[in-house]
A and B are shown apart, each in its own frame.
Chain A
Amino acid sequence: MLTILDRIDLAVDPGEFVAILGPSGSGKSTLLGLMAGLDRPTEGQVLVEGAPIQDLSEDALALLRRKAIGFVFQSFQLLENLTARENILLPLELLDDPEAERRTDALLGEVGLAARGHHYPAQLSGGEQQRVALARAFAPRPRILLADEPTGNLDTATGAVILDLLSRLRRESGTTLVLVTHDPSVAALADRSVHLRDGRVDREETAAGAGRR
């Protein structure tokens, strides 16, 4: 069997912003998948808010994601057959949120797309799509946000706008953020950076810059 992650011991505090860095194939995305309960570890434990999740059923994991975890992806992963507004609405509908419509409209305004809510993803630019994805991720007020190279598919200027937006939304909601990137300038925004290499934690850095091994 191929070992993708090996002896990873990583704790993320509530409200913390952790960036995970590493070259291709170092296991960044797999680590993110484990945190979200999208994947299961062959060995070891994943604790979310103190509770182990690796043995939960698919149903229980789905409910956990629904209530506590938001996602942003490199390739946006918007549902092509839903409008921007409906994409944001979807997680709120899953939660049966009575305020779903109002919150969706508010978020559309916050990401600067109030006028484009009725557009389908294919009709939006990459930056706009990622803004919709951000709004969707923050819509159910998740306690944890997992971001997989959110600026990877965007040009530098657009990427900067997205990062600003992400930071602002996170600050306002106090969400814990784990962000996978290979861009050191993105990682520089984080409270802590974790460098992976060949499935192991290579080194950690805090915002102060002091290396922690």
Chain B
Amino acid sequence: MRPSRFFRLLRRESRGSRGRLVFFAACLAVGVAAVVAVATLSAGLDRGIRTEARQLLAADLRIEGHSQIPQAVEDLLAAIPGVERTDVREMASVVAAVRAGGEPGRSHLVELKAVGGRYPYYGTLRLEPDRPLDRLLDPEGAVVGPELLARLGLKTGDEVRIGAATFRVRGTVLSEPDRLNVSFTLGPRVLLSMKGLERSGLEAFGSRIERRVLLKLPDGRPPAEIDALATRLRAAVPANRRFEVETFRDARPELREGIRRAASFLNLVALLSLLVGGIGVAQTVRAWIAGRLDAIAVLKCLGMRPREVLALYLGQTVLLGLAGSLCGAMLGVAIALAVPLALRDTLPSFALSTFEPLAAARGIGLGVSVAVVFSLPPLVGLRRVPPSRVLRRDADALSGGRWVGVLVAAVVLLGIFLTAWVQSGRAVLGAGFAAGIVAAAGALALAAAGLSRAVGHLPRRFARVWIRHGLSAVARPGAGTIGAIVALGLGVLVVLGLWLVQQGLGERLRADLPSASPTAFLIDIKPDQWLGVSKLLAEQGATRIESVPVVTARLTAVDGRPVERIAAAGSDDRRHRWVLTREQRLTYLEKLPPGNVVVEGKLWSDPTSPEISIERDFARDLGVSIGSTLTFDVQGVPLRLRVTSLRTVEWKTFGINFFLIVEPGVLERAPQMRVATARLPAGREQAIQDRLAAAFPNVMLLRIREILEKIGAILDRIGLGIRLLGGFTVAAGIAILAGAISAGSARRGREVALLKTLGMTRRGVVLVFSVEYALIGLVAGAIGATGGGVLAWAVLTRGMDTPWSFHPAPYAVALAATVALSVLAGVAASAGALSRRPIDVLRME
């Protein structure tokens, strides 16, 4: 047959199935919309970051680390003419309102940022009043986040205490180009000048100062020059020091990597709704073909070969798939364009979606693939339609090779795996996802089959007539209920499962801290302050006050091999490099803290040399074992320690724990600070922080509760997005249910006509249908909710090590909602059958 003729046939054949198109398209469109929306949003974010890379870095090039800038880097920078430089220091600290009437002023944890030089080189720093930062920041001035003023009850022009000095608030900072308003922060921003930071005296204490150098090359320099400079700077950083050199051309790789990871997860959630849509496609195609058997027999009788018939219907499927995917892609693009507009105030400036042709193409491609793959099982059945059906309706189906079924099943599995691979970008993840969804769908199908069979065996003698009919409708063979139950059940499983995981994590974060746990950390305590601090804590009713000394040091050699050399050799292994080059925190203790268990060697067992005890995983990352020696540079003094024990640590207790513990008698005279933990009486946390801030301004109090709440809030925001996406799966499930119902509409019409003829009122018929769809919803909801519970339980207890608790409410809500939606969709889709006069239907027989 000539292609032109084939396409004409294709077009004509579609005439009989326009009604189907709606459900076919709806099933696919929902999933494709989810896929396209996620792909468009993530592509938009990536593009936004690349476009605004200079602003997001606030410079051409940035050097960042936690210690003094290495001399080699300083020398290199000094030798390059024309490069502008701004130094930035960031640290957490406590800021307090000035004492009023003998009472300590209110205090708050903040993120302090001291700027020496022009800032920013690119992007906008929004200040109030709108003046250049260096005009506002004299050594006595501070610019703070507006929320800090609100919390401390201050206004611009008032004084605050930062460290040992008092500053006047010159203005507020509304946004910084290189600080994202969506990421986790310890507290509001406080901007100081470098001189101001010196005045505060905090630099001497701050154990966690982040040092940054922002560089700007003269305008018009080629990007290659910036790359070359970055390469030279990276080379100048000694291998045993940790400094990141990043140019605007790298475009915030850590940020984009984060988005990529999130997108890969969300892609899979979106794919799920597409695959659920695939089940609907399979059902629609099956019902469609069931209605076309006579026509297919005639076509074969007129001499159309089986493969031509298959091509005709496959062509239809592709066209329908294309139409549904196009609708879905448009919907997805619309969603992706609307989201950043709707969330303009909470999303960073670069989150602006544009139409991404690749994202739309990806959605359409996946949509058509899913349509074809899921249509194959019913389509291959076309081969078995006997042409002799034109003579006898009940002609036997032609025998078909069993291998065809196996082949088709393999193609479907492969299709799921490939789409999951495409969506997650990782073959292993794709395989795991495919295995999971096949297992879940299989379990749902089995349960659905079992339950509908069980319903068939229920005694019905005692029930009212519509209940009896409703029950038998579910149990009737070939009712298409299994597909609908699987699809709807998968939707419920995903949405409830994700919700339960999020609730479980949130519950954990909100739960009262175990009574044995501390509720606050105190850091940066000078040894001579400890007596006063502990006294103050005790007076305020704090309990379980514990403190240990901390000595910061740098690892210089392992078993005599300099760290530079080890780090350089294993530089491709980031984790390895991190443990070697980080700033090490040592403590010294006679006895191990609770939760520490020596699993190898013996604590303080070597009288001949100073000893160190290492956490087991950290030792593995360092590549050391019992008997190894570690050499540290303790603020200029070399110290050689022998590993004599390895420990495991129970980190979850919020106690003070260390990777590295040194034998007592070695570090006592080294420069050191103390960290402490305490359990603060409920409701007194703010008062204690205020008093501490007044008496010991350098001491930083971190409230665990507050930090957990911040994490919880972020989790909530992420969870909402994921649940919305999961909602697409439910929508696909509903579309499938409606599709399954309308697929049986001819039979349904006959049934209604018969029931009416036999004297049942329309209300009675609606009741019959309601019982039927309530049962479908009940079964799907029950299986889906059970599956969701199992999923959440597995993720929480196996994956996240979180205790599991069962609350019946969410399950009940999920079940009730599924039943209600199912009944609504069912009755709505049967409306046509209900409104017809019985005589019209019976006459058609």
Contact = CB atoms under 8 A, between A and B. Distances in A.
A103 to B, nearest CB: 15
A101 to B, nearest CB: 11
B102 interface: no
B304 A94 contact: yes
Contact of A91 (B12, B302, B307, B308): B302
Contact of B295 (A32, A58, A80): A80
Interface residues of A, number: 32
A169 interface: no
Interface in A145-178: 148
Contacts of B12: 81-82, 86
Contacts of A59: 305-307
A73 interface: yes
Interface in A58-112: 58-59, 62-67, 69, 71, 73, 77-82, 86, 90-91, 93-94, 96
A96 B392 contact: no
B13 interface: yes
Interface in A25-39: 29-30, 32-33, 36, 38-39
Contacts of B387: 38, 62, 65
Contact of B5 (A38, A79, A93, A136): A93
Contact of B303 (A29, A63, A77): A63
A86 B13 CA distance: 11
A96 B5 contact: yes
A77 B304 CA distance: 15
Contacts of A29: 391-392
B695 interface: no
A24 B16 CA distance: 33
A73 B301 CA distance: 11
Give the most central of B1, B9, B15, B387: most A CB within 10 Å: B387
Interface string B280-294: 000000000000001
B300 A148 contact: no
A38 B388 contact: yes
B566 interface: no
Contact of A71 (B8, B9, B15, B390): B390
B398 interface: yes
A82 B395 CA distance: 25
A36 B392 CA distance: 14
Contacts of B301: 36, 38, 65, 71, 77
A86 B304 CA distance: 15
Contacts of B2: 96
Contacts of B386: 38-39
A99 to B, nearest CB: 14
A79 B312 CA distance: 15
A94 B302 contact: yes
Given A38-B386, A77-B294, A148-B391, A66 B307 contact: no
A87 B532 CA distance: 100
Interface string B377-395: 0000001001110111001
Contacts of A64: 303
Interface residues of B, number: 31
B9 A62 contact: no
B398 A67 contact: no
A30 B392 CA distance: 9
Contact of B306 (A62, A86, A90): A62
Contact of B391 (A32, A82, A86, A90): A32
Given A38-B387, A39-B388, A93-B5, A62 B304 contact: yes
A18 B816 CA distance: 68
Interface string B1-31: 1100100110011011000000000000000
A81 B13 contact: yes
Contact of A90 (B294, B302, B390, B398): B302
Interface string A6-20: 000000000000000
A153 B391 CA distance: 14
Given A38-B301, A62-B306, A80 B391 contact: no
A136 B299 CA distance: 12
B298 interface: yes
A62 B15 contact: no
A66 B302 contact: yes
Contacts of B304: 62, 66, 94
A136 B306 CA distance: 20
A39 B391 CA distance: 10
Given A58-B398, A81-B13, A81-B15, A94 B303 contact: yes
B1 A93 contact: yes
Nearest to B9: A93
Contacts of A77: 294, 298, 301, 390
A81 B19 CA distance: 13
Nearest to B297: A77
Interface in B463-496: none
Given A93-B9, A94-B1, A62 B303 contact: yes
Given A38-B390, A94-B1, 8 more contacts: A38-B386, A39-B395, A59-B306, A64-B303, A66-B304, A69-B303, A77-B301, A94-B302
24 contacts: A29-B391, A30-B391, A33-B388, A33-B391, A58-B398, A59-B305, A59-B307, A62-B304, A62-B306, A65-B301, A66-B302, A69-B303, A77-B301, A79-B295, A79-B298, A80-B295, A81-B12, A81-B13, A81-B16, A82-B15, A90-B299, A91-B303, A93-B1, A93-B5
Interface of A: 29-30, 32-33, 36, 38-39, 58-59, 62-67, 69, 71, 73, 77-82, 86, 90-91, 93-94, 96, 136, 148
Q: What 3 pairs between A and B have smallest CB-CB spacing?
A: A66-B303, A81-B16, A38-B388
